[in-house]
């Protein structure tokens, strides 16, 4: 044991203090973590693909917000077009000293394993060094995850912070997995979108928009939800919307409404989404006004797993001091009963009037 500690101390104190560049190169960097399905850690200087991309800020960046804005504007010398696909992860630099200390200790132990003296150690001493190496590596990875907790997304006026997790997600071992789970929990990262959301996009663009424009809106326009696979999600929403008659797809002289759209049609980015001539009833999300009083009522209908536009709408409605909001959640499965106590306490704590209606199936 005495010999082991001597070797470790010598290697540790002979190692020069790691600067930000040194430890970043020698330690397990963010880019070396396993890549997951829906968010990929990228080389920010070149990444400009229409897929979600996680940009991990270097710890030595003096002005993170300015740095992120520069990344938003350019990609490898060109204008960045897919701004909405970016997710930023920034470090808590107060953890940096502790992280460097762990890395220095790890490097010292690693140096011991490559020294002639290591081969002269007793087997139990060698095993102890290896065990300490594993412990230090686990400590580095854990502190790395603790250090990178703040997630930012592009916004209309720059970058905006996504609410950080109040507690660690169970089983999370990588930065991209942490970001993915946080974005899913906050309703920003979506697997699919409802056809009604595309209907809103259609209305905002004068009732006619090409498929390529729809893709550009979701990948390039900030404040849109982040789609795990934009092309797949948009195509799926179009198929469902056309099938339900919510809108139509015009390809040349043919308009598809209330029917299946052939796959080859949706491969053409020039096909156009158009308002459905078959849809006569009032669409959810339209605004009705009373000419006598000037009052306005907004009715919105959306799936419970696609609440991102409601979160965005709530931010914009906060300034309406005299307006009231009536929220009705219909759950045909009854699964919401499990949340009754939690929801009731939350809502009543904020002074909301709560009423439950239970129906027997």
In whole angstroms, what is the distance from residue 126 CA to residue 144 CA? Answer: 27
Q: What share of the chain is helix, strand, coil (3-state, %, to 5)?
A: 45, 15, 40
CB atoms within 10 A of CB 7: 21
Q: What is the pLDDT of residue 287?
A: 52
What distances in angstroms separate CA 360 from CA 326, 344, 357, one per listed residue? 24, 21, 10
Q: What is the pLDDT of residue 219?
A: 93
Taking every pair of Cα atoms in the chain, the longest distance, rounded to a whole number of angstroms, is 94
Q: What is the pLDDT of residue 33?
A: 32
Q: What is the pLDDT along the chain (361 residues), one digit of tens a residue?
A: 333 333 333 333 333 223 332 333 333 333 333 323 334 444 555 456 788 888 888 888 889 999 999 888 887 778 888 999 999 999 888 888 888 888 888 888 888 888 888 888 888 988 998 999 999 888 888 888 888 889 999 988 889 998 666 556 777 878 888 888 888 888 888 888 888 888 888 888 888 999 999 999 999 999 888 999 999 999 999 999 999 999 999 999 999 999 999 999 998 888 999 988 755 444 455 555 555 567 888 888 777 766 777 777 876 776 776 788 888 888 888 888 888 887 876 676 555 777 888 876 6
The CB-based long-range contact list for 203-208 (8 Å cut-off, 24+ gap) reads 207/274, 207/275, 208/272, 208/273, 208/274, 208/275
Q: What is the pLDDT of residue 22?
A: 33
Q: What is the pLDDT of residue 197?
A: 85
Q: What is the pLDDT of residue 361?
A: 60
In whole angstroms, what is the distance from residue 212 CA to residue 154 CA? Answer: 21
Q: What is the pLDDT of residue 143?
A: 87
CB atoms within 10 A of CB 293: 7
Q: What is the pLDDT of residue 348?
A: 67
């Amino acid at each position: 044991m005495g010999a082991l500690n001597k070797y470790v101390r010598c290697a540790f104190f002979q190692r020069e203090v790691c600067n930000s560049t040194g430890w970043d190169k020698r330690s397990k960097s963010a880019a070396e973590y396993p890549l997951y399905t829906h968010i990929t850690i990228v080389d920010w200087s070149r990444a400009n693909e229409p897929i979600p991309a996680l940009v991990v800020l270097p710890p030595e960046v003096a002005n993170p917000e300015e740095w992120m804005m520069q990344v938003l504007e350019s990609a490898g010398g060109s204008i960045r077009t897919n701004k909405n696909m970016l997710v930023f992860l920034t470090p808590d630099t107060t953890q940096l000293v502790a992280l460097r200390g762990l890395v220095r200790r790890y490097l010292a132990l690693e140096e011991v394993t490559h020294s002639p003296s290591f081969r002269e150690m007793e087997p139990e001493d060698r095993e102890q060094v290896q065990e300490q190496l594993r412990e230090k590596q686990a400590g580095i990875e854990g502190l790395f995850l603790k250090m990178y907790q703040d997630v930012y997304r592009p916004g209309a006026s720059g970058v905006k912070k996504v609410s950080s997790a109040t507690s660690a997600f169970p089983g999370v071992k990588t930065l991209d997995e942490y970001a993915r789970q946080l974005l899913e929990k906050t309703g920003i990262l979506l697997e699919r979108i409802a056809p009604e959301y595309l209907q809103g996009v259609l209305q905002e663009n004068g009732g006619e928009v090409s498929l390529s424009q729809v893709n550009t809106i979701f990948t390039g326009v900030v404040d849109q939800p982040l789609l795990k696979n934009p092309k797949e999600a948009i195509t799926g929403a179009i198929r469902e919307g056309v099938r339900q008659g919510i809108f139509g797809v015009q390809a040349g002289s043919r308009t598809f409404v209330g029917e299946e759209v052939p796959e080859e049609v949706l491969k053409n980015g020039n096909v156009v989404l158009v308002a459905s001539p078959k849809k006569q009833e009032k669409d959810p999300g339209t605004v009705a006004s009373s000419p006598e009083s000037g009052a306005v009522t907004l009715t919105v209908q959306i799936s419970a797993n696609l609440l991102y536009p409601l979160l965005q709408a709530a931010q914009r409605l906060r300034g309406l001091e005299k307006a009231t909001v009536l929220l009705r959640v219909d759950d045909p499965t009854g699964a919401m009963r499990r949340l009754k106590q939690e929801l009731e306490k939350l809502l009543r704590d904020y002074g909301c009037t709560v009423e439950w209606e239970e129906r027997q199936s």
